[in-house]
Amino acid sequence: MKNPLIGVLIGDPAGIGPEIAVKLLKNDEIYRSARPVLIGNKTVVRQAIEFCKLKSALIEVSSPSEGVYKKENINLINLDNISDYKMGEVQASCGRAAYEYIALGTKLALKGELDAIATAPINKESLKAAGIPYIGHTEILAGLTKTENPLMMFEVKGMRVFFMTRHVSLAEAIASVTEELVLHYIRLCSRALDQLGVGDGVLAVAGLNPHCGENGLFGDEEINQIIPAVNKAKEMGFSVEGPFPADSVFHRALKGHYIGVLSLYHDQGHIATKTVDFERTVAVTLGLPFLRVSVDHGTAFDIAGTGAASETSLFEAVKAASVYAPVYSRSTNG
């Protein structure tokens, strides 16, 4: 069988996305597992090639299936949607262009012309300046596919971490820890692991308070909300354990004791994964009609245009997409 077709979206033109994308396509190793095609702007991509001092044949294709996939080529689905912009700055034109790359990638994936998409970083301020009514990739993809509450998973070195809450204040995240929501996310995470073909094992739930509250000495969310949710999930047949103190559960997951960890708030899981290996942490969006995998870093405006940015995270994202996409596609469409 042919390797999966992965649409690589270049992200904000003024950031490092275009540079890491062209570097990725010059890495011979990526073609062993994937057929990556860029979705972006020809002018932007050519400039990125110059920044990185690369020699590549830039080939425009109208469909991913037309590409000739080898490191000598950069296959590009071109959108002539931007020409005048400045590197490293927030600009409405760049926010609009980045949104249009996502929209096209979504369209192609929904049509089955792409097996998955891998996204380079976008800038929230540029999106806002362009009047895009979404805060980031996940929200855009949810809107374009009419998906309610997509599930976010981080993966690094085999450790998978899910997030019950993401971009809300810490106070709001704590208030969200209810038996109903914890149970709902246990079910979502378990289904997602099955969809990825890695559901044979135990899902761990992280505690909220230090030492899981020490039986109510400093916090009772574990007693009143989390433990009842875990027990109810077990009664329903889910393979889940916890809550476990957050200062140890991620280490045990990294050692292979759990197939995944449900993190209860944004920084709890972000710190755990990024400390293990910042560059190799990738974000996987689940619950969509297709698989989306992303780098887990920003646009890095401070070094954009220098050619210094590392493509490691994007490389890991495309590798993860190539592994998971065939299984995920069968589970969601079959």
Digit-coded pLDDT (tens) for 62-106: 999 988 888 888 999 999 999 899 999 999 999 999 999 999 999
**Right CATH for 158-276 from 1.10.10.60, 3.30.70.1400, 3.40.718.10, 3.40.1710.10:** 3.40.718.10
Q: Is the pLDDT confidence value at 120 over 60?
A: yes
The domain ranges of the chain are: 1-148+291-296+318-334, 158-276
Q: How many CA atoms lie within 13 A of 24 on its CB side?
A: 33
Q: Is the pLDDT confidence value at 333 over 80?
A: no
Q: What is the distance between the alpha carbons of residues 319 and 118, in angstroms, rounded to a whole number?
A: 10
Q: What is the distance between the alpha carbons of residues 85 and 65, in angstroms, rounded to a whole number?
A: 31
Tokens of 78: 């071109």
Digit-coded pLDDT (tens) for 294-324: 998 899 999 999 999 999 999 999 999 999 9
Tokens of 224: 């009143």
Q: What is the distance between the alpha carbons of residues 263 and 159, in angstroms, rounded to a whole number?
A: 12
Q: What 3 state SS string does 268-322 have?
A: HHHHHHHHHCCCCCEEEEECCCCEEEEECCCCCCCCCCCCCCCCHHHHHHHHHHH
- Tell me the CA distances in angstroms from 81 to 59, 159, 317, 331, one per residue in order: 18, 38, 26, 35
Q: What top-level class would CATH report for the domain 1-148+291-296+318-334?
A: alpha beta
Strand segments, DSSP code E, in the chain are 5-9, 35-40, 57-60, 73-78, 116-119, 151-156, 159-163, 203-206, 240-244, 260-263, 282-286, 291-295
Q: Which residue has the tokens 């989306």?
A: 292
Digit-coded pLDDT (tens) for 267-286: 999 999 999 998 899 999 99
Fold identical between 1-148+291-296+318-334 and 158-276? yes
Q: Which pTM was predicted?
A: 0.89
